[in-house]
Amino acid sequence: MRRALIAAVMVVSAPALAQLVTFPGVGGGSGGVVVSTTGPVNLTGTTAETNLASLRIPANSMGKNGVIELKCLWSYTNSANVKTHNYRWNNTPGGGVSITSSGPTTTATAQAFLIIRNTNATNVQVTYNTPLNPFGTSGGTPTTNLDTTQDTWLNITGQLALSTETLTLQRATATVFPAP
């Protein structure tokens, strides 16, 4: 009885993954894929890193020099405690290598923008890693090595420093701009 109660509480506190909508072939042609969450996902009640959305990038949709533009809108408790947004990339939904992260504190909302570029190979990417300041000269350029000839997933996670606070992924949208 006690175990069942604990299990029920865990299920209630674990956020459901965001529902997704995908638009292949934007513009009626062969190029462009948009995948987007369809509603907000809340994180609260835990300090564990938690996957909030997995956006599937279809196999071969990028090409050797194409890019993914990822835009995310967040809201969260305005406090001194860190609310971590982590952007992971993997061959499966959930987990994967962290491309970059950000950790806002005494603000209430954030809009993030990442450009993941294939650099003349389908399995070599470079990303400018300051998603809250996506243009400028302060960023680093980490490389990743995901095979984009296979389906890949952008896994967007959240993590609270204080479990009673709330972090919400309001919307995440990935657009693929293909280039050979």
Partner 1 sequence: MIRIALLLWAALLLAMPATAQVGVAPPSGFIVAATQGQTSVTGTTAETNLASLRIPAGSMGRNGHVEVKSLWSYTNSANNKTLGGRLSATGGNISGTSLGVALATTTATAQIMWVIRNNNATNSQTLWGAQPVTPFGSSANALLAPAIDTTQDTFINLTGTLALSTETLTLVHAYAVVFPAN
Residue 157 CB, nearest distance to partner 1 (Å)?
23
Considering the complex, state which of residue 57 and residue 167 has its C-beta at the smaller distance from partner 1: 57
Considering the complex, state which of residue 24 and residue 103 has its C-beta at the smaller distance from partner 1: 24
Instruction: Determine, following the binding rule CB under 8 A, whether residue 150 of this chain makes contact with partner 1.
Output: no
d(CA 89, CA 27): 26
Considering the complex, state which of residue 32 and residue 40 has its C-beta at the smaller distance from partner 1: 32
Task: Output the six-digit token pair for 106.
Answer: 């005494």
Burial of 142 (C-beta count, 10 Å sphere; 0-12/13-18/19+): middle
Q: Is there a contact between 45 and 163 (Cβ–Cβ < 8 Å)?
A: yes
Instruction: Determine, following the binding rule CB under 8 A, whether residue 63 of this chain makes contact with partner 1.
Output: yes
Which residues share a beta bridge with 22?
35
Q: Is there a contact between 166 and 44 (Cβ–Cβ < 8 Å)?
A: yes
The piece of 46-54, 87-95, 98-106, 119-127 that touches partner 1 (CB under 8 A) is 119-127
Residue 48 CB, nearest distance to partner 1 (Å)?
32
Instruction: Determine, following the binding rule CB under 8 A, whether residue 134 of this chain makes contact with partner 1.
Output: yes
> Pick from 13, 47, 105, 141: which binds partner 1 (CB under 8 A)?
141
Q: Is there a contact between 34 and 20 (Cβ–Cβ < 8 Å)?
A: no
Q: Residue 83 phi/psi, 5° resolution?
A: -115, 110
* Helix (H/G/I), strand (E/B), else coil: 112: strand
Question: Which residues are at the interface with partner 1 (CB under 8 A)?
Answer: 25-32, 63-67, 115, 117, 119-120, 126, 128, 134-141, 177-180
